[in-house]
Amino acid sequence: MKVHLWGELGFYGPGKRGRFEYPIEHDMTAAEALLRMGVPAADVAVLGVNGVAERLDDPALVVTNRDRIDCYPPTSGG
């Protein structure tokens, strides 16, 4: 799965990188994927899956290894 952690969320990426590949072994909820990556869901204000804004707390939202997720913090920019 392709992951983009924007703004200060990049701190949680491997090597503090905001863009990386994160292989998952099976389909899972977006919340579970973030938990496994060590990204606190409380720090994610906006979640995008394949370019579409989604609700992180939606239990029906499943991500796969073919997806791209974008996580945005409550504030970002300069």
Our separate counts of H helices and E strands in the chain read 1, 7
Q: How far does CA 32 lie from the centroid of its chain?
A: 10
pTM of the predicted protein model: 0.89
pLDDT digits 0-9 by tens, 22-58: 999 999 999 999 999 999 999 999 999 999 999 999 9
Is residue 4 within 8 A of residue 72, CB to CB? The reply is: no
- Kindly indicate the confidence band of residue 75, based on its pLDDT and cuts at 50, 70 and 90: confident
Domains in the chain (CATH in brackets) are: 2-72 (3.10.20.30)
Q: Determine the Cα–Cα distance for residues 39 and 16; give it in Å rounded to an integer.
A: 12
Q: Determine the Cα–Cα distance for residues 43 and 26; give it in Å rounded to an integer.
A: 24
Torsion of CA 18, 23, 29, 33, to 10 degrees: -40
